[in-house]
C-alpha cells in the first residue's frame, strides 16, 4: 500500500510538472491593412453645455480643402429657440491626421431628444457628397447629452 501511494504521488508530481512546462508556440501576426483611403473625413458631434461640439477629423492620406455645411435638428418634449442649428458653408483646409472643432449653440429645452444631423461636403478634390445621421439623447435645460460619429468617404474626381 505504501508503495502504491508513493508511486501515485510521484506520478502526480511528474505528470503535473510536465503539464506545467511551457511549450513555445509560434506566434502569427496578422498584417493589418494600411490606410488606403486617400480621402476620409470623420465627423464627431457631441452634446455639451449650451449646444454641440462638432469635430472634423481628416483620417485619410491626403489633405481635404473645401466647404462644408451642417444642420443639427434637436427635437425634445419642450424646445425653446435653438432646436435647429446650422453652420452655413464653412471653408476648411484639414491636413492628413489633423482636426478642426466648431461649437454650435444655443439649445435650450427639456426631455428625451432625437438629434438629426445632415450636411454637405464640397471638397475641391472630390464629388460633392451629402451625409446624415440620427441619434438619441436628452436635453436638460442648457445641457445636451448624446453623441454620434459620421464617416464620410469622398469620391475623388475622375
List, in order of start, the domains of the chain with CATH numbers.
41-152 (2.60.40)
Least confident of 9-13, 67-71, 84-88, 134-138: 9-13
pLDDT of residue 64: 86
Report d(CA 23, CA 42) in Å as an integer: 45
Average pLDDT (4-27) is 58
Dihedral sign from CA coordinates of 7, 12, 17, 19: positive
Cβ neighbour number for residue 142 with a 10 Å cutoff: 15
- In the predicted structure, residue 135 carries a pLDDT above the cut 60: yes
- As beta bridge partners, residue 104 has 52
pLDDT of residue 21: 53
With beta carbons less than 8 A apart as the criterion, state whether 42 and 57 touch.
Answer: yes
pLDDT tens sequence across 43-102: 898 989 888 888 989 888 888 888 888 888 888 888 877 678 887 777 888 888 888 888
- In the predicted structure, residue 133 carries a pLDDT above the cut 70: yes
Share of the chain above pLDDT 70, in %: 77
CA distances from 122 to 99, 116, 141 (A): 17, 20, 35
| Reported pTM | 0.70
pLDDT of residue 84: 81
3-state helix, strand, coil in the chain (%, to 5): 10, 55, 35
- In the predicted structure, residue 127 carries a pLDDT above the cut 80: yes
Cell of 39: 480621402
Amino acid at each position: 500500500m505504501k508503495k502504491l501511494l508513493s508511486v501515485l504521488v510521484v506520478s502526480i508530481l511528474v505528470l503535473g510538472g510536465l503539464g506545467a512546462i511551457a511549450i513555445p508556440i509560434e506566434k502569427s501576426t496578422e498584417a493589418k491593412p494600411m490606410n488606403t483611403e486617400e480621402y476620409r473625413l470623420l465627423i464627431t458631434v457631441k452634446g455639451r453645455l449650451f449646444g454641440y461640439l462638432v469635430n472634423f477629423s481628416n483620417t485619410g492620406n491626403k489633405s481635404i480643402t473645401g466647404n462644408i455645411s451642417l444642420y443639427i435638428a434637436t427635437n425634445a418634449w419642450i424646445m425653446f429657440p435653438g432646436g435647429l442649428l446650422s453652420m452655413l458653408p464653412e471653408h476648411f483646409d484639414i491636413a492628413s491626421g489633423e482636426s478642426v472643432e466648431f461649437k454650435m449653440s444655443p439649445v435650450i429645452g427639456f426631455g428625451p431628444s432625437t438629434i438629426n444631423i445632415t450636411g454637405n461636403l464640397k471638397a475641391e478634390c472630390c464629388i460633392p457628397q451629402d451625409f446624415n445621421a440620427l441619434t438619441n439623447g436628452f436635453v436638460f435645460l442648457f445641457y445636451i447629452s448624446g453623441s454620434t460619429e459620421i464617416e464620410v468617404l469622398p469620391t475623388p474626381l475622375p
